[in-house]
Amino acid sequence: MEFVFPVLLIAVALLAVVTLAKAVRIVPQQRQDVVERLGRYKRTLNPGLNVLVPFVDAVRTKVDMREQVVSFPPQPVITSDNLVVSIDTVLYFKVVDSVRATYEISNFLQAIEQLTVTTLRNVIGSLDLERALTSREEINRHLSGVLDETTGRWGIKVTRVEIKAIEPPPSIRDSMEKQMRAERDRRAAILNAEGHKQSQILSAEGEKQAAVLRADGDRQARILQAEGQAKAIRTVFDAIHTANPSQKVLAYQYLQALPQIANGTANKVWIVPAELTKALEGMGGALGGLSQMVGDAPSPQASDDASAVEREAAEAAQAAAAAAEEIHNEVRVAEAQATGGKKPQGLPAPEPISAESLVNDPADQRERG
């Protein structure tokens, strides 16, 4: 009897502890516990400290109220063009009513999975492969609407449905890769052609601008060259008028130019006017009589220079006379060839002149001239 009382005391203490443990329930945040009393729904425990009737109330389920994500395994689906594709989906859902999620359906997660598969097959079955690959947003919206409407009575809120992957058969993938490769090659060829076109256009524009600039530069150069030549001619003209050269200098320059005119390689036929001999005679008289002109007598210091000038004038006159004689002969030969050997009717040919007539300058020649 001595040991019975302590044992009973210990048993009472254990019963009190167990009773207290069953009576007090602490529920964490974002969770709800469904409580049954004698097998019937009694109440829902919210987060915090809750007190139950021990051995009468029992927790049926502990429902997580947070948003959950579940990934379903790939499901084979047949498209409208009779191709089997494998579709992998991801579902986001949230329990909004723990009581209905507990008593309306036995396993809401399995039910959501099967509902997603059947809805997906209905949606994909009405689309061909190309449209199914490019209409993921439309498929997601359709799935979300159907699942949200069906799972609403279960106390489940489907927030989002996403299709992770749509895998066509390997043969179809190879064909699609070839098609995409051909499309990329076509785009690359188009881009290359566009680049070549732009390059040609830019090159043509550059050549056009370069030609315009070259033409403008050539025009400016010609204008500057013409202005320079005009300025040079004006300067020479002003210098000649300022110097006021005498007739002797002009006659000497003319006699020096005659041999150069006669020696031209392109001068095949010369037409000598009849007044040429008289002009040469008058020039010779001018060379001979310039020394006797008033105010143009040579100075004693310039006597040697004058004799040198006279010698050069005599040589120039001889060369001019020879050239005139040669030209006169060529003219006669040309006339003979033109008339067929007959003497043309007309003015008599001028008499040939000699170099002495140009240098000695007799007074009677000047009178005839």
- Alpha-carbon 280 to chain mean position: 75
Residue 111: CB partners within 8 Å, gap ≥ 6?
Answer: 105, 151, 154
| H helix intervals, 52-92 | none
Are the C-beta atoms of residues 158 and 93 closer than 8 Å to each other?
Answer: yes
According to the model, what pLDDT value does residue 305 have?
52
**What span, in angstroms and rounded, lies between the C-alpha atoms of 285 and 236?**
29
Could you tell me the strand order of the sheet in which 40-45 lies? 40-45, 31-37, 57-64
**What span, in angstroms and rounded, lies between the C-alpha atoms of 367 and 202?**
80
> Which strand (E) or helix (H) includes residue 167?
strand 156-167
According to the model, what pLDDT value does residue 250 have?
62
According to the model, what pLDDT value does residue 215 have?
92
pTM given for the model: 0.45
According to the model, what pLDDT value does residue 317 have?
65
According to the model, what pLDDT value does residue 312 have?
67
The SS3 assignment for 277 reads: helix
The proportion of the chain whose per-residue pLDDT surpasses 70, expressed as a percent, equals 67
pLDDT in tens, 236-277: 777 777 766 666 666 666 666 666 666 655 554 444 444 445
Length of the chain, in residues: 369
176 φ, ψ (degrees, to nearest 5): -65, -40
Amino acid 74 reads P
**What span, in angstroms and rounded, lies between the C-alpha atoms of 148 and 155?**
10
According to the model, what pLDDT value does residue 9 have?
78
Per-residue pLDDT tens listing for the chain (369 residues)? 566 777 777 887 888 888 887 888 888 998 999 999 888 888 898 888 888 888 888 888 898 889 989 888 888 888 888 888 888 888 888 999 888 888 888 888 888 888 888 888 888 888 888 888 888 888 888 888 888 888 888 888 888 888 888 888 888 778 878 888 898 899 999 999 999 999 999 999 999 999 999 999 999 999 999 988 888 888 877 777 776 666 666 666 666 666 666 665 555 444 444 444 555 555 555 544 544 443 444 444 444 554 665 576 667 667 766 776 777 677 677 667 656 555 444 444 445 444 444 444 444 443 344
Classify each residue of 95-124 as buried b or exposed e, where b means 16 or more C-beta atoms within 10 Å of its C-beta. Answer: bebbbbbbeebeebeebbbebbbebbeebb
